[in-house]
Chain A
Amino acid sequence: MKKTLLTLLVLALSVSAAHAGLKVVGKGDAMRLDPSAFPPAMKANYDIMKVRCVKCHTLERTIVAIQTGIAPISGQPFDRNATKAYGVKMLRKPDSNMSKPEIKATVDLMNYLLVEAEH
């Protein structure tokens, strides 16, 4: 019994720790990240993401993908390969209005957030 409780406790701690790196404020369409703990470079990248990405979709979609590791629309794994593929997709969309450096910045940020979400 003690072992079971201990296992459950460890599991519960590990689950809560999984999202410790992602401080999220707001819900639904208003969902945002709290960048206060981000390194300066990632803060700058977040400034780009929160302006550019919301042209077509909410930040909630990106945050949920990072939190769950699953892209909400396709149901496919959302990992480093996926972040790059989405970045290239946005780079090539005529109406995305994103330059290559901006794409790189958002992909770097998503990769950083993926690592943070795992801690």
Chain B
Amino acid sequence: MFSKSRLALAALSLTAAALLPLVAPSPSHAIPAYARQHKTECSTCHTIYPELNEFGEAYLRNSYVWPSGAHAAPAGKGEAQRTEGLWLSGIPEMLPVSFTATIDAAYNSRAVDELDLSSRSIRLQASSAFRDVAAFYLTYNLYAQDLQTGAHNNPNNASPDINELFAIWRHALKTPVNVRIGRMEPKLSLWKKSNRVITVPSFASTTYTQGQGGSQWSVDTPQDALEVNSLIGDRVLVSAGVANRKGQNSKDYYGHISGRFGGTDFSGHEPEVDLEKEATVWDYLGITVGAFGYSGHNGVIDAFGVAQERNNFYRAGAEIDLLYKRLHLKGSGVLGRDTNPDLSAGGSALHSHAVTVEGEYMFGAPVDVVALMRYDYFYNLQGATRRYIPAVAYTPLQNTKLSLEYIYEDGAQAINRTTLASLAFSF
């Protein structure tokens, strides 16, 4: 009896051990500070948080300014009730700070601590727009406790550190161009790392790494960068950037283009729907396609800041996002090439590739539950890895999410089965 209950718990938490490195920094980037600023509910921007809905994506692309109107009232009561001095100074009327915390339970029969309740994290988030002219965004990892995998009695805590900190100059010099500078997740993928129902593990297509040690790099790694982006006709987004990673004297370059057919456009305008007529497919359908490229370099840095065993690499990706009523499909594929992926003397080049496909179905009221199935595949220096992830997520309140996922990972060297139950809440 006892062993059966343990097995049941194991079935819940097993998969998390395989995800160990992924669990600790998992908190979402949902920002209740926005809800406070605009006096609106989380569901304005999110389906089940932190995944964004169409309006939330428009808010993100519009540099955290309310879309479809440059004169949105941050206090929710019109400009007349703003404190003029603060408004003229560009200072937010309330401190735009939020927190997101996660508490996890993981089970993995192969882990040292089969049932691990110690995995948890808390992240500080801050973001605001200054008079619709500029904006900033910050996420700071306050605390993250890894799962226990090895023989250590006290698994490492992830060091408190900035995850993202960037400033945005909107419509610079009164042009349609926005400028971002700072530490950021470069605009490559259609979805930010946090724009998912379940954030652990992240999509293999954007998080797979190549090689070991210093060669660890993935598409969604936050980097120090300068980026420009612009909307063309409300339905096409182009962005380009240059990244300058610490300790590296060379620059990386990247670009992104995406377009949307049907649905709410990138500026937040709703599609034309004739309410007098019978429903058509296009009343509900929205398709977004995107492509990106990244060309970079890394290597072992010597005492003079010069990269030895240099690795030149690129990633090229294509993605599609399809929303139809309560069905949401996401597909992402990436090709890559590294000239020296393990940063060794005389290392040989390697081609890599990764694919992620995720299908989500929202059951909606009266129970806000999303069921999803994800398939991940990536091939890197260690070989091929496949993941199959069924999961459900439930939000009893808009700022609280309970999720349960089973992660079956068929790796090049071992099979891992982890069950992860997670409680996340933002405030």
Residues of A at the B interface (CB closer than 8 Å) are: 55-57, 70, 72-76, 84-85, 87-89, 91-97, 100, 103-104, 107
Interface string of B19-48 (1 = CB under 8 A from A): 000000000000000000011110110011
Q: Is the CB of B47 within 8 A of A103?
A: no
Q: Is the CB of A93 within 8 A of B53?
A: yes
Taking CB atoms, residues of chain B closer than 8 Å to A57 are 40-41
Which residues of B in the span 273-296 have a Cβ within 8 Å of any Cβ on A?
273, 275-276, 278-279, 283-284, 286
Q: How far is A76 from B71 in the complex, measured between Cα atoms in Å?
A: 8
Instruction: Decide: A88 near B76, CB < 8 A? Known: A56-B41, A74-B66, A94-B326.
Output: no
What count of chain B residues pass the 8 Å CB interface test? 42
Residue of A nearest to B395 (CB): A95
Q: Is the CB of B41 within 8 A of A94?
A: no
B351 to chain A, nearest CB (A): 38
- The contact sample of 14 A-B pairs, CB cut-off 8 A, is A55-B365, A73-B40, A73-B72, A74-B68, A74-B73, A89-B270, A92-B54, A92-B286, A95-B362, A95-B365, A95-B368, A100-B275, A100-B279, A100-B283
| From A55, A75, A92, A104, contact of B284 by CB (8 A) | A92
| From A70, A88, A94, A96, contact of B273 by CB (8 A) | A88
A18 to chain B, nearest CB (A): 18
Instruction: Decide: A97 near B69, CB < 8 A? Known: A56-B43, A70-B78, A91-B273.
Output: no
Q: Is the CB of A91 within 8 A of B284?
A: yes
B300 to chain A, nearest CB (A): 48
Q: Is the CB of A76 within 8 A of B284?
A: no
Q: Is the CB of B76 within 8 A of A73?
A: yes
Q: Is the CB of A107 within 8 A of B275?
A: yes
B263 to chain A, nearest CB (A): 7
Instruction: Decide: A88 near B73, CB < 8 A? Known: A74-B68, A75-B78.
Output: no
Instruction: Decide: A92 near B73, CB < 8 A? Known: A56-B41, A74-B66, A84-B275.
Output: no
Q: Is the CB of B276 within 8 A of A75?
A: no
Residue of A nearest to B286 (CB): A92
For the complex of A and B, the 9 pairs showing the least CB-CB separation, nearest first, are: A75-B73, A97-B365, A88-B270, A104-B275, A94-B362, A100-B279, A94-B326, A97-B364, A85-B270
| From A75, A85, A107, contact of B72 by CB (8 A) | A75
Taking CB atoms, residues of chain A closer than 8 Å to B270 are 85, 88-89, 92
Taking CB atoms, residues of chain B closer than 8 Å to A94 are 47, 53, 323, 325-326, 328, 362, 364
Which residues of B in the span 297-351 have a Cβ within 8 Å of any Cβ on A?
323, 325-326, 328
A93 to chain B, nearest CB (A): 6
| From B54, B72, B278, B323, contact of A76 by CB (8 A) | B72
B110 interface hit (Cβ, 8 Å): no
Q: Which of A75, A94, A95, A103 has the most CB of B within 10 A?
A: A94
A119 to chain B, nearest CB (A): 24
Q: How far is A88 from B262 in the complex, measured between Cα atoms in Å?
A: 12
Q: Is the CB of A75 within 8 A of B365?
A: no
Q: How far is A75 from B47 in the complex, measured between Cα atoms in Å?
A: 23
Instruction: Decide: A88 near B53, CB < 8 A? Known: A56-B43, A100-B283.
Output: no
Q: How far is A100 from B273 in the complex, measured between Cα atoms in Å?
A: 10
Instruction: Decide: A75 near B279, CB < 8 A? Known: A92-B263, A94-B325.
Output: no
B307 to chain A, nearest CB (A): 47
B271 interface hit (Cβ, 8 Å): yes
Residue of B nearest to A73 (CB): B40
Residue of B nearest to A68 (CB): B78
Q: Is the CB of B275 within 8 A of A103?
A: yes
Q: Is the CB of B76 within 8 A of A72?
A: yes
B55 interface hit (Cβ, 8 Å): yes
Taking CB atoms, residues of chain A closer than 8 Å to B326 are 94
Q: How far is A23 from B48 in the complex, measured between Cα atoms in Å?
A: 36
B79 interface hit (Cβ, 8 Å): yes
Taking CB atoms, residues of chain A closer than 8 Å to B79 are 75
Taking CB atoms, residues of chain B closer than 8 Å to A55 are 365
Taking CB atoms, residues of chain B closer than 8 Å to A75 are 69, 71-73, 76, 78-79
Q: Is the CB of B323 within 8 A of A91?
A: no
Residue of A nearest to B38 (CB): A73
Q: How far is A74 from B270 in the complex, measured between Cα atoms in Å?
A: 15
Taking CB atoms, residues of chain A closer than 8 Å to B6 are none
B77 interface hit (Cβ, 8 Å): yes
Q: Is the CB of A74 within 8 A of B286?
A: no
A43 to chain B, nearest CB (A): 20
Q: How far is A97 from B365 in the complex, measured between Cα atoms in Å?
A: 6
A59 to chain B, nearest CB (A): 14
Taking CB atoms, residues of chain A closer than 8 Å to B328 are 94
Residue of A nearest to B44 (CB): A73
Q: Is the CB of B39 within 8 A of A73?
A: yes
Taking CB atoms, residues of chain A closer than 8 Å to B362 are 94-95
Residue of A nearest to B272 (CB): A88
Taking CB atoms, residues of chain A closer than 8 Å to B102 are none
B100 interface hit (Cβ, 8 Å): no
